[in-house]
Amino acid sequence: MSFKLKSIALAAALILSCLCANALAGDVSLGGFLQGNYSFDIAQGNPDGGNFKWAEERVQLKLDANKGPFRVFIKTDGFHDWTDQDFNAELREGFVEYTANKWDAQIGRQIITWGVGDLIFINDVFPKDYEAFFSGRPLEYLKKGVDAAKFGLYPGFASFDVVAIPFFTPNVYPSPNRFWIFDPFPQVTAREKEEPPVSLKDTELAVRAYRQIAGFDTSVYFYRGFFRQPSPLPDNFQTPTRLTLFYPELSEYGASAQGQALGGVLSLEAGYYDSRQDRSGTNPLIPNSQTRFLVGYQRQLWEDFTLGVQYYFEYMHNYSHYLESLPQGFSPEKRYQDLTSLRLTKLLRHQTLRLSFFMFYSPAVSDYMLNPEVKYNFTDHIWAALGSNIFGGGNRSSQFGQLARDNNMYVQVRYEF
Amino acid sequence: MLLPANVFAISPKEIMAKSEAAFYYQGRDFKARMIMKLISAGGQERTRELTMLRKNYGPPGGNQKYFIYFFQPADVKDMTFMVYKYPDRDSDRWLFIPALNMVRRIAAQDKRSSFVGSDFSYEDVSGRNVNDDTHSLVREEKLGARDCYVVKSTPKAGDVEYSYKLSWVDKADFLPMKEEYYDRRGELYKVFTADEVKNVKGFPTITKRTMKNIQSGHRTEVSFTKADYNIGLPDNIFSERFLKQPPRRWID
């Protein structure tokens, strides 16, 4: 189906649901926004010669309809993209919800966010759009919806989220046309993506159990599914001509806690990544199993000024197997990876002006990302943000080091209704 | 006279404790839908519309839970905010951000911080511990038609932005009819006025109020469009589940 047809189909679906909602005579609300979002390369231009990391006008419509225990929620975007000269549509969320006393269910496309990290994800195993994040799009576009059935169970002693995801959604990584990203196989252009098929066996399962313990919000997590970052499988190592990008099997076990301590909010999170297709660590193309850990602290230093710091640590299991099996010519990853973050936020002029500074810095590989931003709410309906993403340090394959030529400056302007 | 005249009189601290009970603790629970207008000295208006649910856990002056749902402005629609208030230590605060479907704890050390950018602080919304101030009765006088105690409350610790507060407390229902905040130089800088009092289910309730910053000219007007007491709010409303799925029955 062409993009235009898809947009028309989506718009028709939206109007139809409005009509249905009206027919139900429940409580219906319609909202949304018009937005311009432009991100200009301030380094040396994109690999394809362009100068914009992102340039689009976007309209979002949000429909929320309730009737008795049922609710329908639809959030859909239409946009014009200047870098691809294209009109397109995207269903951001669209689900039906049923609420009972001790349980509820949401079926359809939905955004799920778990864990206590600030832009560091251990137990949030749901899809992310890192291109959006590095391009200076509004933060909500970092998260992508999953097509899933989610059940909430509230028996009293604890609460449970149980999510079944039959349709796999991968992460989105920066496009090689717009970003200078590291590619271990630059000479191979024949590439094929192989997503997990839709089947009962490959249905992802994510479970979270949570309750308060001693004033802390505590959760334990379980996930059985797939890595959302693809692993490249070449047809041969010496002279590869074709790559298959596939998503290795993953199970994840974790826990988090967040509460007041040391005069602020303390966050702790840990997870064990069980790489089910490479438990011995002898396949260099598949990530080894890992243990990940995060500690964060947030504090209001004075009125309308908050500080947030985090330290994240990742440990690769079976490191010696990884080193032994790594093909010649590949530079090995470290056994430990780590990341620190700093966030400063100042609100001014009756909280209508927000100055913020966010920084990632990895002590292990010395690379960094800086994100200063100014956001102002001109009225109750119009806001604009101006910011910049600056990358550097590390090396050509490290997380932020590889983006050293992708510095950008962005503007977001939105009219909400 | 065998006894000094003030033996049967009420102490200034008792006045303020009764005022706190009348202003922040009436009923077992409380619900108010309100429109908050933030008006700059130049006349520019911003509007927040929200429903606040409150439930008491213990006697007046004790623990409380608050749940706030935002209808307006559009960029915060469906946002919810929850506070567990403890008189003797920092509150627990949670914020739900709908676009990310994310519940976050937020740091809450400064009770004098502005509530959603208004001239009201968190303490103005949910009350200040009577034991945090020393109170003295300045005089008794009429404010309009109401007989009032005028009480001066001076914070014991120097961690607030004002040096003292004068409260005009109605002798009949103990609601604060007016408050004047004086800054560290002793100059008047903020004035609270109760602009309308209505009887809701037998509880005298301030249904219109204004907080004005005299020095900047900025003011915030709050008017209740709905108010109700003892509605039987269940405990589980104050939970992550309902932050994410605001309970329509209770917030409309």
Per-residue pLDDT reduced to its tens digit, A238-275? 888 999 999 999 999 999 999 999 999 999 999 999 99
pLDDT of res. A149: 98
Kindly list the residues from chain A whose CB atom is less than 8 angstroms away from the CB atom of residue B245: 97, 99, 104
pLDDT of res. A216: 97
* Cα–Cα distances in angstroms (integers) from residue A196 to residues A110, A111, A125, B158, B222, in the given order: 20, 20, 16, 62, 55
Kindly list the residues from chain B whose CB atom is less than 8 angstroms away from the CB atom of residue A306: 107
Q: Domain spans of chain B?
A: 10-247
Kindly list the residues from chain A whose CB atom is less than 8 angstroms away from the CB atom of residue B77: 31
pLDDT of res. B6: 57
Residue A51's contacts (CB-CB under 8 Å, 6 or more residues apart) are A40, A41, A45
Put simply, the answer to whether B109 touches A154 (Cβ < 8 Å) is no
Over residues A388-415, the mean pLDDT reads 96
Kindly list the residues from chain A whose CB atom is less than 8 angstroms away from the CB atom of residue B190: none
**In 3D, which of B77, B51, B76 has the Cα closest to residue B66?**
B51
CA distance linking residue A340 with residue A345, whole number of Å = 17
Kindly list the residues from chain A whose CB atom is less than 8 angstroms away from the CB atom of residue B101: 110-113, 143
With CA atoms as reference, the chain A residue closest to B216 would be A349
A183-204 pLDDT, tens digit each: 888 889 899 999 999 999 999 9
**In 3D, which of A386, A415, A377, A417 has the Cα closest to residue A35?**
A415
Over residues A9-35, the mean pLDDT reads 70
Over residues B188-198, the mean pLDDT reads 97
Tokens 């985090």, residue located: A310
B105: nearest CB among A143, A210, A258: A258
A318-359 pLDDT, tens digit each: 999 999 999 887 888 899 999 999 999 999 999 999 999 999
B74: nearest CB among A143, A267, A417: A417
pLDDT of res. B159: 82
Per-residue tokens: A286 = 């598949």
Put simply, the answer to whether B74 touches A31 (Cβ < 8 Å) is yes
pLDDT score of A18 more than 60:
no
Q: Count contacts between A and B (CB, < 8 Å).
A: 96
pLDDT of res. B8: 59
Over residues A100-108, the mean pLDDT reads 97
Q: Over chain A, what is the mean pLDDT? A: 93
B112: nearest CB among A139, A303, A380: A303
CA distance linking residue B98 with residue B80, whole number of Å = 8
Put simply, the answer to whether A379 touches B46 (Cβ < 8 Å) is yes
Looking at CA atoms only, how far is residue B20 from chain A in angstroms? 24
pLDDT score of A92 more than 90:
yes
A104: nearest CB among B74, B218, B245: B245
CA distance linking residue A75 with residue A77, whole number of Å = 7
Cβ-contact A359, A368 below 8 angstroms: yes
Q: Check: pTM over 0.90? Answer yes or no.
A: yes
**In 3D, which of B95, B84, B80, B246 has the Cα closest to residue A104?**
B246
Residue B139's contacts (CB-CB under 8 Å, 6 or more residues apart) are B150
**Which of A330-334, B106-110, B133-137, B244-248 is the least confident region?**
B106-110
Over residues A369-377, the mean pLDDT reads 98
Put simply, the answer to whether A302 touches B110 (Cβ < 8 Å) is yes
Share of chain A above pLDDT 90, in %: 85
Kindly list the residues from chain A whose CB atom is less than 8 angstroms away from the CB atom of residue B161: 303
Put simply, the answer to whether A351 touches B114 (Cβ < 8 Å) is yes
A113-122 pLDDT, tens digit each: 999 999 999 9
With CA atoms as reference, the chain A residue closest to B48 would be A380
Domain A3-416: CATH superfamily is: Porin (2.40.160.10)
Put simply, the answer to whether A152 touches B241 (Cβ < 8 Å) is yes
B36-60 pLDDT, tens digit each: 999 999 999 999 999 999 999 999 9
User: What is chain B's Cα-based Rg?
Assistant: 19
B105: nearest CB among A110, A217, A416: A217
Confidence of residue A1 (pLDDT cuts 50, 70, 90): very low
Put simply, the answer to whether A416 touches B74 (Cβ < 8 Å) is yes
Strand residue runs (E) in A154-189:
159-167
What are residue A316's DSSP bridge partners? A290
Cβ-contact A311, A294 below 8 angstroms: yes
Of residues A21 and B107, which shows the higher confidence score? B107
Cβ-contact B82, B67 below 8 angstroms: yes
Q: Which of A160, A260, A345 to mutate to test the interface with B (most CBs of B within 10 A)?
A: A260
Number of neighbours of residue A330 by Cβ within 10 angstroms: 11
Kindly list the residues from chain A whose CB atom is less than 8 angstroms away from the CB atom of residue B108: 300
Per-residue tokens: A208 = 């979270």
Predicted interface score ipTM higher than 0.90 = yes
- In our burial notation (b when 16+ CB lie closer than 10 A, e otherwise), range A288-314 reads bbbebbbbbbbbbeeebbbebbbebbb
| Chain B positions touching chain A (beta carbons under 8 Å) | 38, 40, 46-47, 72-75, 77-78, 90, 92, 99-102, 105-110, 112-114, 116-118, 161, 218, 236, 239-241, 245, 248
Q: Which amino acid, residue A35?
A: Q
- Helix, strand, coil shares of chain A, percent, nearest 5, are 10, 55, 35
Looking at CA atoms only, how far is residue A348 from chain B in angstroms? 9
User: What is chain A's Cα-based Rg?
Assistant: 22
Q: Which of A126, A161, A265, A347 to mutate to test the interface with B (most CBs of B within 10 A)?
A: A265
pLDDT of res. B4: 55
Kindly list the residues from chain B whose CB atom is less than 8 angstroms away from the CB atom of residue A115: none
A300: nearest CB among B47, B107, B117: B107
pLDDT of res. A2: 46
CA distance linking residue A196 with residue A201, whole number of Å = 10
pLDDT score of B66 more than 60:
yes
Q: Domain spans of chain A?
A: 3-416
Kindly list the residues from chain A whose CB atom is less than 8 angstroms away from the CB atom of residue B240: 159, 210, 217
pLDDT score of A26 more than 80:
no
pLDDT of res. A187: 87
Kindly list the residues from chain B whose CB atom is less than 8 angstroms away from the CB atom of residue A259: 92, 105
Strand residue runs (E) in chain B:
29-39, 45-57, 63-72, 80-86, 89-97, 102-105, 133-143, 146-155, 164-170, 176-182, 188-200, 203-213, 219-229
Share of chain A above pLDDT 70, in %: 94
Per-residue tokens: A416 = 């909400």
The verdict on domain B10-247 having CATH code 3.40.30.10 is: no
Q: ∠ at Cα A298 (B211, A206), nearest 5°?
A: 110
A292-303 pLDDT, tens digit each: 999 999 999 988
B80-90 pLDDT, tens digit each: 999 999 988 88
pLDDT of res. A24: 55
Per-residue tokens: A66 = 């309730």
Backbone phi, psi, residue A322, to 5°: -60, -45
pLDDT of res. A172: 97
